[in-house]
A and B are shown apart, each in its own frame.
Chain A
């Protein structure tokens, strides 16, 4: 695009972000402050993810952008267009052919492979923020690995509800050291964070933090020995592709309580439908 650098950000800024990314990879799960720039999209709409993607994107990359698991939601479309316009890179919806996947709220169903990069958009990078509003204090707590308070929250949940009531943005321990927000992905996706062969990068633009999970890093969802972490999904099969293990969206079909359930991952669902049709 005329008048703007490749992928919008100037090279100095990209270098600054890459330095933060290198630090983040070196200290898995630790939030690295970075000089987040104002972007032409609003804060809270993926500015952190966009800056990270812009900093790692090259002309030969193949970019996939999803929001809620879907390639065709408006914000995913908007961000994909932004990079098509400012970087001219190829954009695809197939998970397997993408080299960089920017995501909001999901990890693709299809297992990622070595060499792929998953970039998460993060609204609130600090899981302690819900318990302790002062950033100065939570920074100290991370520095000293004082995470008792987070377990108090889980203890209280079990006491009140019989189980942990967090269903998304479920806090994790990375490499046995840093407490980390996985971004608001459903807890269903948490197991995929751990020992993933892909590089996982997290960008929080408004809060000006970057963090990372390097490939094959151990990530543990917080729990108690006698109340182990467990995931939930709607107990149905996808009405379009028949998958009974994927994460489902519930769609209201009429005013009489009619519902159908479909895969939230549109690429996964479409691929399965195509396979089914080919077999018939």
Chain B
């Protein structure tokens, strides 16, 4: 753990009126590592994801990101163009609802190719080739490349969103309940796919989920949140097999009971 972190947050605070969303939250993420943020709805986990990714500003605290060249940048002090550039190249964001990110009126190939074109690719043939290659990475048949997403199933849409996000080989991906709203069998296949891709490509990820099974399958480390506070964090197996905090114990036991 002496390696430099990829993303670090210190002393994050954010309140919505009287409601605390983040209370003195610290977080660290190392290159190639998957960190799960777990908790019930309203625990502040999605807010934390938004603050870590620069989509929402904290009232106090700082988020550092280490650029490929090694320098640290303060995510919330970055000029908007630099942050947006980061979001469409080095970073990726996978939404719970793929319709929030996909262009439903644009073909699957166009959806996957958009980030390449935004980065300056100007060869139709090679953009299309990359799109087809990425569709097969996420187990979508190459013959669907010209189809509109509205003809896709829920699981396919989520895989398409993942292809669209990973096409630029990001170093860091933020995922908000990526398997939420899917059938259990579809979930399992998707989790398998994500686990394989993340491991093979060495991508670091911050994953928000209310589902401890998802955290156990994908994450190296876990942070447990309750009412805006991080109540426990550590290696996934350690936290889930031997929870110390009463709230974590409750979460773990309710999963077992279910």
**Chain A residues in the interface with B (C-beta under 8 A):** 140, 143-144, 146-149, 151-152, 155-156, 158-160, 223-227
Contacts and interface: CB of A to CB of B under 8 A. Distances in A.
A98 B81 CA distance: 44
18 contacts: A140-B80, A144-B81, A144-B85, A146-B88, A148-B88, A148-B114, A148-B119, A149-B118, A151-B117, A152-B103, A159-B107, A159-B109, A159-B146, A223-B122, A225-B123, A225-B124, A226-B124, A227-B124
State the main secondary structure of chain B at its contact with A.
Answer: helix
B84 interface: yes
B167 to A, nearest CB: 12
Nearest to B126: A226
The number of chain B residues touching the other chain, given as a range, is 20 to 34
B107 A156 contact: yes
Interface in B3-49: none
Contact of A148 (B107, B118, B125, B146): B118
B183 to A, nearest CB: 31
A224 B121 CA distance: 9
Interface of B: 80-81, 84-85, 88, 103, 106-107, 109-110, 113-115, 117-119, 122-125, 127-128, 146
Given A155-B117, A155-B124, A156-B110, 16 more contacts: A144-B85, A146-B84, A148-B118, A148-B119, A149-B118, A152-B106, A152-B110, A152-B113, A155-B109, A156-B107, A158-B124, A224-B123, A224-B127, A225-B122, A225-B123, A226-B123
Contacts of B88: 146, 148
Contacts of B103: 152
Contacts, number: 55
A221 to B, nearest CB: 13
B122 A224 contact: yes
B109 A144 contact: no
What 6 pairs between A and B have smallest CB-CB spacing? A148-B118, A151-B117, A224-B124, A148-B117, A225-B123, A144-B81
A144 B106 CA distance: 23
Contact of A152 (B81, B117, B146): B117
Nearest to A156: B110
Contacts of B123: 224-226
